[in-house]
Structure formats: C-alpha cells, structure tokens
C-alpha cells in the first residue's frame, strides 16, 4: 500500500473469534477480499488469524464514505449476516483515522 | 476494555513479520505487555500471530501523549532496538484515532 504521509485515510479494525469448522467461511472470505479490493476508495488490507481462531483484519480506505459504501454493499451484507449467525463467536469493529504511520523499511 | 463511545481514544497498530527462532522474544513480549499495562493512559491490547510469523498487535491509549510516553519508556526502547535488530524482518506502525466502535455482544 502506498499512501502519502500527508493524505488522510482510515482504518477499519475487525477483531473476531471464529467458530469451529469452515461452514463456507474460507470461500466467502476470499470473495469478500476480492470484492473489497474492487471498491472505490479501497487502499489495502492486512489480516492475521491464529490456530485458536483469533483474528484481526484491518482494511484501509480513503474516506468514511468509502467505508460506509462497503458496509452497505449487498454481497457484503449477506456475508455480514452469515458472519453473525455462523462464523464468529464474537467480533468487534473500530473505525479509525490514521494520524501517523511509519515502517522499518 | 471498557471505553465510553463518546470519549476519544487512540489505537497503535503494530504489524510485523517475525524472524525464525525465539531469541529471547517471548520473554520480552510478556514483559512489555505487562509494562505497557502499567503505563498511564493504557486502555487495552489485542494481539494475534499466525504460524508463519505474521502478527498484528493493537494497543489502545487515552491520548497521543500516553502513546509518546510509552514509546520513550527506557525499557521499551531497549525492546524496540532488539526488535529492529533481531526479532522482526519488517514491521509498520500506525497511530490512529478511534472514531467509532461497535461489537457483536
């Protein structure tokens, strides 16, 4: 992801605990990552899940409007419903404004 | 972590790729988590690392000043140096203002 330091952008932090079994999750997760990447204002995503099912996914967007549009995308809404019902014991979402960023290389 | 929706608070997103082997990392990580929790303004932390060594740690703080003080803590600075030299292939840090949060339960 290439973002100039003086542009403002946003992060959506999604922390979750997966239920047991796949139940169609893997396929939908791949689809959602692909679909998100096609949305206006999408800047990038990073995602980690450990063997015990704890996960953090952070997607980056250029505006709050882009985040809202993605949340309301019909296919994404279907995925969100399945997430609530089948895939996550629990999750939380935080919408953040990135104020500063630096990296080791 | 209990944070009222109308308080402003901050997240530090630390994404990293670990090197092979422990090299004292596990012990120091435990110490740093304990030490961070004792700092003024600390609100909480969540951390996930997968089997391939990709990790995301997010710590939450009540102000930018609390984040700066923690970054400058002498023991934490020692850990940061070891991190650069031995523990991480690469990492990036983002300092964010949490604008909205919600959870499934």
Flag if A93 and B105 touch (Cβ within 8 Å). Answer: no
Q: Is B5 on the interface with A (CB under 8 A)?
A: no
A36-39: which pairs have CB atoms within 8 A and are 24 or more residues apart? A36/A70, A36/A76, A39/A66, A39/A69, A39/A70, A39/A73
CA dist., res. B13 & res. A2, Å (int): 17
Please tell me the distance in Å from A16's CA to the nearest CA on chain B.
Answer: 9
pLDDT for A22 equals: 94
List, run by run, the mean pLDDT of 10-residue segments along chain B (105 residues). 67 97 95 97 97 97 97 96 96 96 86
Measured between CB atoms, which of A11, A90, A105 is closest to B94?
A11
pLDDT for A7 equals: 72
Q: Is B105 on the interface with A (CB under 8 A)?
A: yes
Mean pLDDT (chain A) is 93
What residues of B are in contact with residue A1 (Cβ under 8 Å)?
none
Please tell me the distance in Å from A38's CA to the nearest CA on chain B.
Answer: 24
Interface contacts A/B by beta carbons within 8 Å: 91
CATH, domain A9-98, list 3.30.70.100, 3.40.50.150, 3.40.30.10, 3.40.50.300: 3.30.70.100
Classify the complex by whether its ipTM is higher than 0.95, answering yes or no: no
pLDDT for A104 equals: 86
* Domains in chain A: boundaries: 9-98
pLDDT tens-digit series, residues A4-39: 555 799 999 999 999 999 999 999 999 999 999 999
pLDDT for B4 equals: 53
pLDDT greater than 80 at residue A83: yes
Radius of gyration (C-alpha) of chain A in whole angstroms:
14
pLDDT tens-digit series, residues B26-44: 999 999 999 999 999 999 9
CA atoms within 13 A on the CB side of B102: 1
Flag if B104 and A88 touch (Cβ within 8 Å). Answer: yes
Q: Is A104 on the interface with B (CB under 8 A)?
A: yes
pLDDT for A1 equals: 52
pLDDT tens-digit series, residues A72-82: 999 999 999 99
């Amino acid at each position: 992801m290439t973002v100039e330091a003086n542009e403002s952008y946003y992060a959506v932090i999604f922390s979750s605990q997966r239920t047991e079994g796949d139940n169609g999750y893997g396929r939908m997760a791949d689809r959602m990552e692909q679909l998100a990447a096609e949305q206006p204002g999408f800047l990038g995503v990073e995602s980690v899940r450990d063997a015990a099912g704890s996960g953090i996914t952070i997607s980056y967007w250029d505006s709050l409007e882009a985040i809202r549009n993605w949340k309301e995308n019909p296919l994404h809404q279907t995925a969100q419903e399945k997430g609530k019902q089948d895939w996550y014991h629990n999750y939380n979402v935080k919408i953040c404004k990135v104020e500063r960023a630096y990296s080791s290389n």
